[in-house]
């Protein structure tokens, strides 16, 4: 009888017995099951199954014992017979399951495991084999309570194989755990349980992952709310590369939760936007049976998706980039909410008609900023380090261009940093302009949102300017996306709090 109750299994990857016992107890509120990775332990005698007793007798949750073979990602070289005996004997006395590699099934069988406590697993850390369906059939033919297939997704399209295996196992009434490792496979970890996977694994904290792409139990339950996802849930998400650092899943999922909507927002790590839209999104060609409603689009796909869509909104055409896709009536419609997201917080501070504005930078964000400021009738000058890019972009938006170092001589009342200068991991603590050049300006607006308190804004505040952080644009453009996908007013305060939480973590 197949079970579909979504389960989160917290993986315990501590190196000492004492730390493992603590971690198991801490996992109590976050997970439904535990996997104790014995091969991580450095102070344990693997030849003594009865030494598992102090580790497991007070276990707070049903527990899987795993002592992974070194060849399949184990942390230590332990003799196969020793480690198999440890988990098979251990599962009989002290735990609910043991996880045996399919490659070692016959040796394990000679140790007489309890079949009702046996998980048989297959791992491929390099790729998704082309014959994965046949591999799954071979593994599932080995008598066990649960079978497990773990492969590496080198492209998000590899995730399709996992969803196919889960569909088949569900229709056959088998207990299967199936997932794809790596960032492109993260959607299988989030959606797997709603599509029949017996469980999904989570780490207890960042840095404690046992496999690539594993996310934390807290994110699985609180951000993605996987217990509530069903096959009918409405799918949204962000496509980009990389996307795993994005604050958008926290922001949008918090908004769906607040509004009681059966939506989920996923991170789609995508290298080829055209192929992704064909396989996952376009109603005519997609290979996923799901309700897709929309996408956020980020670097490097904002321009690349444009020729792939059925319709483009005029604002997105003017900006030359799409950051939002709405799937409606079988068609893909492209929009750009960056201009609206940028301008809304600025309009709350001041009216813009006739105001002198300086935009620093001539990249993708600057395009949305120029478009929005010009629409409001502001008098804009573009400052950038690259004269070719600056004058080209200025020409497109009928805006004068000046070299970045000339900003100090400008009479702009409002200055917008649309470069990444000051951003965490890029040039944190640096400002695009000298502090003295900010004296006498009215408003400084930084698009950088990580960190929130940039050097540029600190210098501006010291010079008496009013400041606006990049968080305001982030939240405001996300709110506009939310409203397009749901037709409801966005819970902006909840989205801001979620964005702050995501950025600070």
Longest dimension (CA), the chain: 84
Residue with Cβ nearer ligand NAP (220 or 473)? 473
Binding characters for ligand NAP, 382-411, by CB under 6 A (x = yes): --xxx--x--------------x-------
Among 302, 374, 389, 489, the one annotated catalytic: 302
Total residues contacting ligand NAP by CB under 6 A comes to 25
CB of 244 to ligand NAP, least distance (A): 15
The pair of structure tokens assigned to 410 is 């400008």
Question: Residue 36 or residue 358: which is nearer to ligand NAP going by CB?
Answer: 358
Stretch that binds ligand NAP, among 205-213, 237-245, 251-259, 442-450 (CB under 6 A): 442-450
Closest CA to 38 of 26, 55, 58: 55
Q: Output the six-digit token pair for 214.
A: 């594993």
Stretch 217-256 residues interacting with ligand NAP (CB under 6 A): none
338 binds ligand NAP (CB under 6 A): yes
Contact predicate 217/31, CB 8 Å: yes
Residue 111 or 306: the one with the smaller Cβ distance to ligand NAP is 306
**Smallest separation (angstroms) from ligand NAP to the CB of 129:** 38
Cβ atoms < 10 Å from Cβ of 418: 27
SS3 state of residue 119: strand
Nearest-angstrom CA–CA distance, 311 and 100: 51
Is there binding between residue 144 and ligand NAP (CB under 6 A)? no
**Least Å from the CB of residue 51 to ligand NAP:** 51
Interface with ligand NAP includes 418 (CB under 6 A)?
A: yes
DSSP string, 308-336: GSSEE-HHHHHHT---EEEEETTEEEEE-
List residues bridging with 201 in a β-sheet.
9
Alpha carbon separation from 322 to 272, 400, 471, 472 (Å, rounded): 16, 25, 20, 20
Q: Which residues, in sequence order, are CB contacts of 334 under 8 Å at separation 6+?
A: 305, 306, 309, 311, 312, 313, 316, 322, 324, 325
369 binds ligand NAP (CB under 6 A): no
Residues 48 and 85: their CA atoms lie apart, in Å, by: 9
User: Contact at 8 Å (CB) between 239 and 187?
Assistant: no
Q: Which residues of 97-133 are buried (b: 16+ CB within 10 A; e: fewer)?
A: bbbbbbbbbeebbeeebeeebbbbbbbbeeebbeebe
Report, in Å, the least distance between residue 363 CB and ligand NAP. 2
Rounded Cα–Cα distance for residues 59 and 54 (Å)? 9
Is residue 148 annotated as part of the catalytic site, yes or no? Answer: no
Stretch of 7-15, 63-71, 281-289, 413-421 lying at the interface with ligand NAP (CB under 6 A)? 413-421
CB of 418 to ligand NAP, least distance (A): 5
* CA distances for 33 relative to 17, 60, 133, 293, 363, angstroms: 18, 9, 27, 32, 47
Stretch that binds ligand NAP, among 64-72, 119-127, 284-292, 361-369 (CB under 6 A): 361-369
- Is residue 424 at the binding interface for ligand NAP, with CB under 6 A as the rule? no
- Other beta carbons within 10 angstroms of residue 205's beta carbon come to 13
d(CA 436, CA 259): 46
Q: Nearest distance from residue 473's CB to ligand NAP, in Å? A: 4
Does 99 engage in binding with ligand NAP (CB under 6 A)?
Answer: no
For ligand NAP, which is the closer residue by CB, 113 or 364?
Answer: 364
Interface stretch with ligand NAP, choices 9-17, 196-204, 441-449, 485-493 (CB under 6 A) = 441-449
For residue 447, state whether it binds ligand NAP (rule: CB under 6 A): yes
Residue number of the CB atom closest to ligand NAP: 363
Residue 387 or 488: which CB sits closer to ligand NAP? 387
Using CB under 6 A as the binding rule, whether residue 449 contacts ligand NAP is answered as yes
Q: Identify the residue among 345, 420, 435, 501 touching ligand NAP (CB under 6 A).
A: 420
Contact positions toward ligand NAP, by CB under 6 A? Answer: 338, 341, 361-366, 384-386, 389, 404, 418-421, 423, 447-449, 470, 473-474, 477
Write out the catalytic residue numbers.
302
């Amino acid at each position: 009888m197949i079970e579909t109750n979504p389960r989160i299994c917290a993986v315990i990857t501590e190196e000492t017995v004492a730390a493992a016992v603590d971690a198991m107890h801490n996992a109590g509120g976050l997970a439904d099951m535990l996997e104790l990775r014995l091969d991580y332990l450095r102070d344990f005698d693997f030849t003594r199954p009865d030494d598992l007793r102090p580790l497991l007798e007070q276990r707070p949750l049903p527990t899987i014992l795993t002592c992974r073979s070194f060849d399949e990602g184990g942390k230590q070289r332990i003799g196969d017979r020793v480690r198999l005996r440890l988990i098979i004997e251990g599962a009989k006395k002290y735990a609910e399951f043991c996880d045996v590699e399919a490659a070692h099934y016959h040796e394990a069988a000679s140790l007489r495991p309890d079949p009702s406590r046996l998980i048989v697993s297959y791992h491929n850390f390099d790729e998704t084999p082309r014959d994965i369906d046949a591999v799954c059939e071979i593994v599932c033919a080995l008598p066990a309570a649960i079978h497990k297939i773990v492969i590496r997704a080198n492209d998000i399209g590899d995730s399709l194989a996992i969803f196919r295996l889960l569909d088949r196992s569900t229709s056959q009434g088998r207990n299967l755990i199936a997932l794809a490792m790596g960032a492109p496979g993260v959607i299988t970890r989030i959606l797997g349980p709603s599509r029949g996977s017996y469980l999904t694994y989570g780490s207890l904290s960042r840095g404690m992952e046992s496999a690539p792409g594993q996310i934390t139990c807290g994110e699985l339950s609180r951000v993605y709310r996987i217990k509530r996802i069903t096959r009918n849930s409405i799918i949204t998400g962000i496509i980009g590369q990389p996307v795993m650092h994005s604050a958008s899943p926290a922001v949008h999922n918090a908004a769906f939760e607040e509004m009681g909507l059966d939506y989920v927002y996923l991170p789609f790590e995508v290298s080829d936007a055209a192929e992704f839209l064909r396989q996952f999104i376009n109603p005519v060609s997609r290979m996923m049976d799901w309700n897709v409603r929309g996408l956020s689009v980020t670097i490097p796909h904002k321009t690349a998706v444009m020729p792939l869509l059925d319709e483009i909104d005029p604002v997105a055409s003017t900006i030359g980039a799409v950051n939002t896709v709405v799937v409606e009536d079988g068609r893909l419609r492209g929009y750009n909410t960056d201009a609206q997201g940028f301008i809304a917080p600025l309009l709350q501070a001041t009216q813009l008609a006739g105001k002198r504005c300086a935009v620093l930078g001539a990249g993708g964000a600057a395009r949305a900023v120029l478009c929005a400021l010009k629409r409001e009738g502001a008098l804009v000058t573009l400052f950038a380090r690259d004269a070719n890019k600056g004058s080209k972009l200025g020409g497109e938006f009928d805006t004068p261009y000046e070299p970045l170092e000339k900003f100090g001589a400008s009479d702009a009342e409002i200055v917008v940093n649309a470069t990444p200068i000051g951003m965490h991991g890029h040039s944190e603590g640096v400002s695009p302009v000298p502090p003295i050049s900010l004296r006498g300006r009215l408003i400084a607006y930084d698009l950088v949102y990580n960190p929130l308190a940039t050097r540029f804004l600190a210098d501006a505040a010291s010079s008496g300017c009013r400041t606006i952080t990049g968080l305001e644009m982030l939240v405001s453009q996300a709110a506009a996306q939310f409203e397009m996908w749901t037709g409801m007013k966005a819970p902006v305060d909840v989205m801001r709090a979620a964005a702050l939480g995501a950025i600070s973590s």
